[in-house]
Amino acid sequence: MNIKKILILFAVSLLMLAFKSDKPAYRIFNTEGKDVKYGKMLEEMETADVVFFGELHNNPICHWLQIELTRDLYEKKDSAIMLGAEMFEADNQLILNEYIEGKISEKNYKKEAKLWPNYATDYAPLVEFAKEHQIPFIATNIPRRYASVVYSKGFEGLDSLSAEARSYIAPLPVDYDPELKGYRSMLEEMEGMVHANDNLPKAQAIKDATMAYSIAGALEKGTLFIHYNGTYHSNDYEGIIWYLNNYKPGLKIVSIASVEQEDIENLEEEYKNKADYIIVIPDRMTKTH
């Protein structure tokens, strides 16, 4: 073996050793499983109409990346962004608006809004960023009490609600495809369980439909809508994305899925095609709650 080949092998060995001795907190892959740099992902998002950030609710890397991505897209889009999230229900829109516009105190906002238990660590940074820069923030989700109606009575249970109640829900009747992978998987996982209920995926679907309808109604030409939701709500280009494509065809949508793996050097086969970009995080990562 000549000296040139020896030097090349030595250099490659050093690079491999350096990577193995590092402790990366995450890696980004495209839908085919190829490594992607954060900046490259950001460039594509800059030209999108809607970006879906599918998170793992208790993962600190997801939440850190959400606020970083929001800051960066705000700069790239010259402030032409709006935000929305699963974590805020449609009947809290007024309270959320009043807080962001500085009309009510933080104390009253926290007292009256239905905030998630991990709000302070995980979602407050997004709301405070919106407040600081006066960015619209849409409470996209169905009030949970109405999702519970679907879980117990099916979609038919919503028919008896008042017109005011239905104003917080996607127009009825909603389309529903039980063969979509996400909904079908729910039923399969429930087989044999004591509390199995065929309405569970329907309750998921009414959430997805309402979030999609809320996004479609809020979209403004030239403004990027960034939506934060549990990754299962947008995985496989289904859930909210499926409904949004029905409500408003032709949008450029870019999606992120979040997964945890023991080894993050390569994307596991089962996670390919989950989204346009897949954020892979070590499964030993600490949790926010």
pLDDT in tens, 230-256: 999 999 999 999 999 999 999 999 999
Packing angle, helices 124-133 and 60-76, rounded to 10: 20
Tokens for 73, please give them.
Answer: 């897209």
Per-residue model confidence as pLDDT tens digits over 189-223: 877 665 668 999 999 999 999 999 999 999 999 99
Rounded CA-CA distance 221/225 in Å is 10
Confidence of residue 20 (pLDDT cuts 50, 70, 90): low
Within 8 A by CB and 6+ apart from 100, the residues are: 127, 130, 131, 134, 135, 137
| Residue-range domain boundaries for the chain | 25-282
Per-residue model confidence as pLDDT tens digits over 135-178: 999 999 999 999 999 999 999 999 999 999 999 999 999 999 99
Per-residue model confidence as pLDDT tens digits over 4-15: 554 455 554 544
Nearest C-alpha neighbor of 180 from the set 229, 125, 236, 231: 236
Rounded CA-CA distance 256/275 in Å is 6
pTM of the model: 0.91
25-282 belongs to CATH 3.40.50.1970: no
